[in-house]
A and B are shown apart, each in its own frame.
Chain A
Amino acid sequence: MIDLYLFHIAPLSLSKVVSLAIVLFAFIYVSISLRRSLSNKSRSYRLGLIALNFLAGLSLAALIVSPASLQYANTSSLLITSPDYDLELLESIDYEEVFKLGGHDINLYHSDTSVSFDEAFDSDIQTVQNIQSLFWKLPEMSRLTIVGDGLSQSVLNEINQSLLQPLSVAFKPSKQKAGFSRVNWTQRLNLGNYLHIQGLIHSTDPRVNSVALIDPAGDQVTECKLLSDESFSISAKPRLAGRHTYQIVLKDSKQNEIVREAIDIYVEHLAQAKLLVVQSSPSFETKQIQNWAAENGAQLMLQTQISKDKYITRLTNIKDVRSRDFTQDLLDEFDLLIMDGRALLGLTTEQKQMLREAVELGLGLFVIADQELIDQKQNLPSWMAPIAIQQTEESREMVPYWSDNLDGFTAPIESFMPIIAADFIPENQLTAIQTNMRTLVQASNGWPIVKSLDVGLGRVTVSLMRETYRWVTNGDRTSHSHYWQNVISKAARPSESPLELQQISYPLFKGQRTKFCIESRLPIDSATVTSATMPDDEQVVHLLRGENTLSRYCGYFWPNQAGWYRVNVSVSESDQHYEDWISISDNDEWLALQQSNKRRDTLRYIQKQSLSSEHHKTKMYQPINQWIFWWIFVLCASLVWAENKYMRDE
Chain B
Amino acid sequence: MSQKSSLENDLSDNASTDSYNSNGMNESTDSIQVSIDTLNYYLRRYKQKKQLAYLCQAIFYAVTGFVLISFLDLEPILQYLTVSIIGIFSLSLLLKRQSYRAISLENFLEHLNRQFSEYQESAQLVNQPNEQLSLLKQIQKKFVYNLIERDISNGQIKKVLPAWPWKDFLIPLVALIISLLVSWYVVPKFSSEEFTSRNSEPEKLSQQDDKLAPKLTSSLIQITPPQYTKLPSIELEDLNLEILEGSQVEWSVQFNSQNNKSLQWLLIDADNNQYELTLQDDARYQLKLNVQQTTFYRFGFVDPFSQHQEPTMLDNIYSIAVIRDQLPKIRLAEPSQTLVEIPKSEEANFNIEAHIEDDFGINSVSILASVAKGSGEAVKFRDETFMFDSFENLGSKSVYKKSWSLKSLGMEPGDEVYFSVIALDNKAPEPQRNKSSSVIVRWLDDEIVETAVEGIQIRFIPEFFRSQRQIIIETEQLIADRKDLFPTVFKEKSVDLGFSQRDLKEKYGQYLGDEFGEGPAPDSVEMHGLADGYHGGEDVAQGEASAGLASHLEHLLEKGDGDDHAGHNHSDPAGGHTGGHEHQHGSEDPFGNSMVDSSDLSGASELIAQFAHNHGSAEIGPLSKRDPKSWMKRAVSVMWQAELHLMMHEPEKALPYEYEAYQYLKLARQAEKIYVKRLGFEPPPVKESNRLTGELKDILTYETSVEDIADESADASIISVSYQALNDPENRNKLSKNAKKQLSLLRDRLLELSETRPVLISYAATVEKVLVADSLILNDCDQCIDSLQAKLWQLAKRPISLPNVRGEVLKSNIESAQEFLNNINQLNSLILQTNDDLGDSGQIERSGRQESILKSEVRND
Contacts and interface: CB of A to CB of B under 8 A. Distances in A.
A474 B666 contact: yes
B806 A489 contact: yes
Given A324-B703, A497-B808, A241 B720 contact: yes
A481 B696 contact: no
B805 A456 contact: no
Interface of B: 479-480, 483, 539, 541, 625, 652, 666, 670, 692-694, 696, 699, 702-711, 719-720, 723-724, 727, 729, 789-794, 796-814, 817, 821, 848-849, 852-853, 855-856, 859-860
Nearest to A297: B710
Contact of B801 (A240, A485, A497): A485
Contacts of B808: 494-497, 500
Interface in A539-574: 550-551, 566
Contacts of A292: 800, 803
Contact of B853 (A295, A305, A434, A498): A434
A582 to B, nearest CB: 14
B704 A314 contact: yes
A192 B802 contact: yes
A426 interface: no
A553 to B, nearest CB: 11
Contacts of B541: 396-399, 416
A624 to B, nearest CB: 55
User: Closest 8 A-B residue pairs measured CB to CB?
Assistant: A485-B801, A494-B808, A192-B802, A481-B800, A298-B803, A217-B793, A217-B790, A481-B801
Contacts of B855: 360, 455-457
Contacts of B793: 215-217, 239-240, 244
A220 B809 contact: no
A492 B805 CA distance: 6
A382 interface: yes
A377 interface: no
Given A239-B798, A317-B707, A434-B852, A312 B702 contact: yes
Interface of A: 190-193, 215-220, 237-244, 269-273, 275, 292-298, 305-308, 310-319, 324, 335-336, 360-361, 382-383, 396-399, 416, 431, 434-436, 444, 454-457, 474-475, 477-478, 481-482, 484-486, 488-490, 492-500, 519-521, 532, 535, 550-551, 566
Given A273-B803, A273-B804, A499 B539 contact: no
B147 to A, nearest CB: 67
Contacts of B723: 240, 242
Contacts of A519: 809
Contact of B703 (A219, A306, A313, A444): A313
Nearest to B792: A240
B710 A454 contact: no
A427 to B, nearest CB: 13
27 contacts: A192-B799, A215-B793, A217-B793, A237-B799, A240-B723, A240-B796, A241-B720, A242-B723, A269-B802, A270-B802, A292-B803, A295-B710, A296-B711, A314-B703, A335-B805, A383-B852, A398-B541, A399-B541, A434-B852, A456-B856, A457-B817, A481-B800, A482-B801, A489-B804, A492-B806, A494-B807, A521-B814
A443 to B, nearest CB: 9
B803 A454 contact: no
Contacts of B797: 239
Contact of A216 (B693, B790, B803): B790
A486 B790 CA distance: 29
A241 B792 CA distance: 12
A313 B853 CA distance: 36
A216 B727 CA distance: 13
Nearest to A474: B670
B333 to A, nearest CB: 35
A316 B800 contact: no
B362 to A, nearest CB: 37
Contact of A192 (B702, B791, B801, B821): B801
Contacts of B727: 242-243
Given A240-B796, A318-B705, A457 B859 contact: yes
A493 B805 contact: yes
Contacts of A215: 793
Contacts of A485: 801-804
Nearest to A549: B811
A383 B810 contact: no
A454 B859 contact: yes
| Most chain A CB neighbours (cut-off 10 Å) among B799, B814, B817, B859 | B799
A192 B804 contact: yes
A277 B432 CA distance: 56
B708 A360 contact: no
Contact of B692 (A192, A237, A308): A308
Contacts of B859: 454, 456-457
A306 B800 contact: no
A270 B694 CA distance: 43
B803 A218 contact: no
Given A217-B794, A314-B705, A454-B859, A307 B724 contact: no
Contacts of B696: 306-307, 310
| Most chain B CB neighbours (cut-off 10 Å) among A431, A457, A477, A485 | A457
A315 B705 contact: yes
Given A217-B790, A313-B704, 12 more contacts: A218-B483, A239-B796, A240-B792, A273-B805, A306-B699, A313-B702, A314-B706, A435-B856, A454-B852, A456-B852, A495-B805, A521-B812
Nearest to A470: B670
Contacts of A431: 849
A242 B860 CA distance: 32
B652 A478 contact: no
A142 B789 CA distance: 55
B723 to A, nearest CB: 5
A317 B708 contact: yes
Contact of B812 (A269, A497, A551): A551
A571 to B, nearest CB: 13
Contacts of B792: 240
Contacts of A237: 798-799, 801
B652 A434 contact: no
A257 B27 CA distance: 115
Contact of B849 (A243, A318, A434, A566): A434
A497 B809 contact: yes
A296 B711 CA distance: 7
A431 B801 CA distance: 33
A316 B853 CA distance: 37
A521 B796 contact: no
A489 B723 CA distance: 27
B703 A484 contact: no
A148 B203 CA distance: 67
Contacts of A361: 821
Nearest to B710: A297
Contacts of B802: 190-192, 269-270, 272, 296-298, 481, 485
A551 B694 contact: no
A499 B809 contact: yes
B801 A295 contact: no
| Most chain A CB neighbours (cut-off 10 Å) among B480, B710, B803 | B803
Contacts of B804: 190-193, 269-273, 485, 488-489
A527 B64 CA distance: 46
B625 to A, nearest CB: 7
A481 B803 CA distance: 8
Nearest to B733: A535
A452 to B, nearest CB: 13
Contacts of A521: 809-812, 814
A431 B859 CA distance: 16
A388 to B, nearest CB: 14
Contacts of B810: 496, 521
A498 B710 CA distance: 28
A360 B693 CA distance: 35
B710 A305 contact: no
B706 A316 contact: yes
A294 B794 contact: no
Given A382-B848, A457-B859, A444 B539 contact: yes
